[in-house]
Amino acid sequence: MRAPATTLIRPVEWRDGVLRILDQTRLPHEEVVLECRTVADVEAAIRRLAVRGAPALGIAAAHALGLAASSDPSTLRQAGERLVATRPTAVNIRWAVARVVRVADGGGDVLAEARAIEREDEDACARMGELGAALVPDGANILTHCNTGMLCTAGIGTAQGVIFTAHRAGKRVHVWVDETRPVLQGARLTSWELQRLGVPMTLVADTAAASLMARGLVDLVITGADRIAANGDVANKIGTYALAVLASHHGVPFYVAAPTSTVDLEKQSGSDIWVEERDVSELTAPFGVALAPDATPAFNPAFDVTPAGLVTAIVTERGIVREPYRERLRRLVGGDAA
Amino acid sequence: MRAPATTLIRPVEWRDGVLRILDQTRLPHEEVVLECRTVADVEAAIRRLAVRGAPALGIAAAHALGLAASSDPSTLRQAGERLVATRPTAVNIRWAVARVVRVADGGGDVLAEARAIEREDEDACARMGELGAALVPDGANILTHCNTGMLCTAGIGTAQGVIFTAHRAGKRVHVWVDETRPVLQGARLTSWELQRLGVPMTLVADTAAASLMARGLVDLVITGADRIAANGDVANKIGTYALAVLASHHGVPFYVAAPTSTVDLEKQSGSDIWVEERDVSELTAPFGVALAPDATPAFNPAFDVTPAGLVTAIVTERGIVREPYRERLRRLVGGDAA
């Protein structure tokens, strides 16, 4: 069952030769659409997090190549390289660019391929939702991190898609939404989406997750992923690894939901994944409010790596994978890339 | 060795019949002093976190009773009850109020007792610093949480006092200062203090602590405490418990530094400690910036409880305590209250 089209929020949308990007930095208080007409427009939107979330980044990059192809097809490969460089941790941009360039090299239609990637992602979300919802008990208190919903996919989302599907199927679920410092995707985006969908939720500070678990108020944790290595190690938004350690300590299952496009069989383990660092002003002056003293030294890694041993299961559109991950992920994704 | 007086920041200072409170909500960008002339002034300052930190709260409350005694001694007991109600988790207010009221009941000088509490706290900080610094290896990367420095004591601080003493003794230390959502005492106050003292530091998001540990970049964690139960369970700023679990997972020692005035032998364990909840606007609209959608449900516990089993040692001014805590804390604090 696919989510009714009316409930979908489109983070990126191709219309009349323009890639329309919903500016997520302005949410939840303003819905502003950026009209991108060049690859540079899309690059800028990605860099400042107007569009974010691994699957949506892949879809945006594929359509950006549609913009390049319509203006000057000879720039396609270089445009792809620039797009890949915008966000080095999430693999989906590289995956989408490689796929589109391969089609273009074969004389195929760039835009049609971008649209295929988008449609497939929508279907993958629906399928992850169905498969993952089986892991969610009735009455579950679910802790999630960052934003993994419609805003970062072409469908109902990855981890949030699982939650939404369980809710829509009549299970009574309640979601602990953690803020997700430093960019607060949980407070700003996940809160907005879940309330819009009528899913019961409560916002908490990232620092409160452990005591919720200690009080027995978390039945499962589910997050998305930006890149999954061949051995099942998961790179995701900074803070994910802490939740996995805490879940393990408290005997709470820790699930990851991500389409197979997020699996990178070329990375043998998490230590091969490059963790992007973002501007320290996200810490020293969040949202323009100078909080720390001027020139405070800061370190702002955007992602962390959760070892496969802490991951109870990975929900993909092709099935739910459990340990041993290496063998099972390779079989699922298709051994050719390994 | 006591810290040179010139380096001390005074969070509260009695001068000419007025309790001067440095407004910590305005730091680090403005140094504003609130002149409190009544108990109600002090109560208001405590409630809005202008003064905070367990020992400083005790000192502020003791001096507030000095204000009450000088206007109408018959109001002393009632004033004490109102002060205790401002912050129910930190035990130091109750401890200081009980001590001052006992002296007043015996016909003693309220203000002299308040000053004695202040001087003893300054000495306790110096002593904790000396004892605790022995736990800090040369070259240590130290992770700390919240603010535990001069701003929350009459001396060099509790956990930060330990760090400062190690630094002053010539040990090369570097401090990871976590932001400490939701009120960001780490980003705003600890960053400011450590830079003022010339202690090398780097600000990180709370969500980054786990990956610092995974990378081997944390040699020890040290925090303060708001209340320590008879069995060694430690109530402290929300997020402390997560750090203790993470430290245990990574084999990193987890220390607590707190004066014996923070030990409450009447509480048998952490489950007897009442955890204060603060206004959810700290999460939905931090520092006046509306981030979450309007009316987002939120849960904002201000503290959590770390079980004694995760605490490597507690540094007090009377000695360093390790497991078994119940017996050793009772001996240290004086069995009379048990």
pLDDT tens-digit readout, A264-280: 999 999 999 999 999 99
pLDDT reported for residue A288: 83
Q: What is the mean pLDDT of residues A269-294?
A: 93
- Yes or no, beta carbons of A292 and B242 under 8 Å apart: no
In sequence order, what are the beta bridge partners of B141?
Answer: B174
Mean pLDDT of chain A: 95
Band (pLDDT 50/70/90 cuts) for residue A8 is confident
Instruction: Count Cβ atoms within 10 A of the Cβ of residue A78 and give its class: 0-12 exposed, 13-18 middle, 19 or more buried.
Output: exposed
Q: What is the mean pLDDT of residues A106-134?
A: 97
pLDDT reported for residue A118: 97
pLDDT reported for residue B127: 98
Asked if B70 contacts B284 with a C-beta cutoff of 8 angstroms, the reply is no
Cβ–Cβ pairs < 8 A, chains A and B: 175
Q: Where are the alpha helices (DSSP H) in A50-145?
A: 54-71, 76-86, 92-105, 110-133
- The conformation of residue B7, written as its DSSP 8-state character, comes to G
Please state, in angstroms and as integers, the Cα–Cα distance from residue A263 to each residue in A75, A84, A127, A250, B71, following that order: 28, 16, 17, 28, 71
Mean pLDDT of chain B: 95
Beta strands in chain B (DSSP E): 12-15, 18-22, 33-36, 141-144, 174-178, 201-204, 220-223, 227-229, 234-237, 254-257, 263-264, 303-306, 313-316, 319-321
pLDDT in tens, B197-228: 999 999 999 999 999 999 999 999 999 999 99
3-class secondary structure, A36? strand
Q: Sign of the C-alpha dihedral, residues A186, A189, A191, A194? A: negative
Q: Which two tokens stand for residue A316?
A: 């993909």
A-chain residues within 8 Å CB-CB of B29?
A: 290, 293
3-class secondary structure, B97? helix
- Yes or no, beta carbons of A280 and B203 under 8 Å apart: yes
Asked if B239 contacts B178 with a C-beta cutoff of 8 angstroms, the reply is yes
- Yes or no, beta carbons of A292 and B206 under 8 Å apart: no
Q: Report yes or no: A89 at the B interface, CB cutoff 8 Å.
A: no
pLDDT reported for residue B310: 98
CA distance A87 to A98: 15
pLDDT in tens, A206-251: 999 999 999 999 999 999 999 999 999 999 999 999 999 999 999 9
Q: What are phi and psi of A209, to 5 degrees?
A: -55, -45
Q: Is B226 a catalytic residue?
A: yes
pLDDT over threshold 50, residue B337: no
Instruction: Kindly report whether the peptide bond that precedes residue B28 is cis, defined as omega within 30 degrees of 0.
Output: yes
pLDDT in tens, B1-58: 444 444 689 999 999 999 999 999 999 999 999 999 999 999 999 999 999 999 999 9
Asked if A162 contacts A135 with a C-beta cutoff of 8 angstroms, the reply is yes
Beta strands in B208-324 (DSSP E): 220-223, 227-229, 234-237, 254-257, 263-264, 303-306, 313-316, 319-321
Q: Which residues of A are catalytic?
A: 226
pLDDT in tens, A158-200: 999 999 999 999 999 999 999 999 999 999 999 999 999 999 9
- The conformation of residue B293, written as its DSSP 8-state character, comes to P
- Yes or no, beta carbons of B210 and A304 under 8 Å apart: yes
**Å from B299 to nearest chain A CA?**
6
pLDDT more than 70, % of chain A: 97
Q: Report yes or no: A251 at the B interface, CB cutoff 8 Å.
A: no
**Å from A288 to nearest chain B CA?**
10
With CA atoms as reference, the chain A residue closest to B304 would be: A211
Q: What is the mean pLDDT of residues B99-109?
A: 96
Q: Report yes or no: A107 at the B interface, CB cutoff 8 Å.
A: no
pLDDT in tens, B227-263: 999 999 999 999 999 999 999 999 999 999 999 999 9
Which candidate, A42, A324, A9, places its Cα nearest to that of A196?
A9
CA distance A295 to A284: 8
**Å from B246 to nearest chain A CA?**
7
Spatial strand order in the sheet of A234-237: A263-264, A227-229, A234-237, A303-306
**Other CB atoms closer than 10 Å to residue A297's CB: what's the count?**
15
Asked if A23 contacts A32 with a C-beta cutoff of 8 angstroms, the reply is yes
Residues with Cβ within 8 Å of residue B24, at least 6 apart in sequence: B11, B49, B50, B51, B52, B151, B188, B189
Of B180, B201, B293, the CB nearest to A192: B293
pLDDT reported for residue B327: 96
Q: What are phi and psi of A4, to 5 degrees?
A: -55, 135
Q: Report yes or no: B137 at the A interface, CB cutoff 8 Å.
A: no
pLDDT reported for residue B288: 83
Q: Which two tokens stand for residue A65?
A: 């190549």
pLDDT more than 70, % of chain B: 97
pLDDT more than 90, % of chain A: 93
Q: Sign of the C-alpha dihedral, residues B245, B202, A183, A302? A: negative
pLDDT over threshold 70, residue B331: yes
- Yes or no, beta carbons of A28 and B208 under 8 Å apart: no
Q: Report yes or no: A274 at the B interface, CB cutoff 8 Å.
A: no
**Å from B237 to nearest chain A CA?**
9
CA distance A229 to A232: 5
Q: Report yes or no: A182 at the B interface, CB cutoff 8 Å.
A: yes
Asked if A61 contacts A154 with a C-beta cutoff of 8 angstroms, the reply is no
Question: Which of B121, B206, B226, B264 is labelled catalytic?
Answer: B226
Of A179, A208, A291, the CB nearest to B301: A208
Asked if B65 contacts B100 with a C-beta cutoff of 8 angstroms, the reply is yes
pLDDT reported for residue A12: 97
CA distance B41 to B64: 9
Band (pLDDT 50/70/90 cuts) for residue B335 is low
pLDDT reported for residue A2: 44
Instruction: Count Cβ atoms within 10 A of the Cβ of residue B137 and give its class: 0-12 exposed, 13-18 middle, 19 or more buried.
Output: middle
pLDDT over threshold 70, residue A335: no
Q: What is the mean pLDDT of residues A252-271?
A: 97
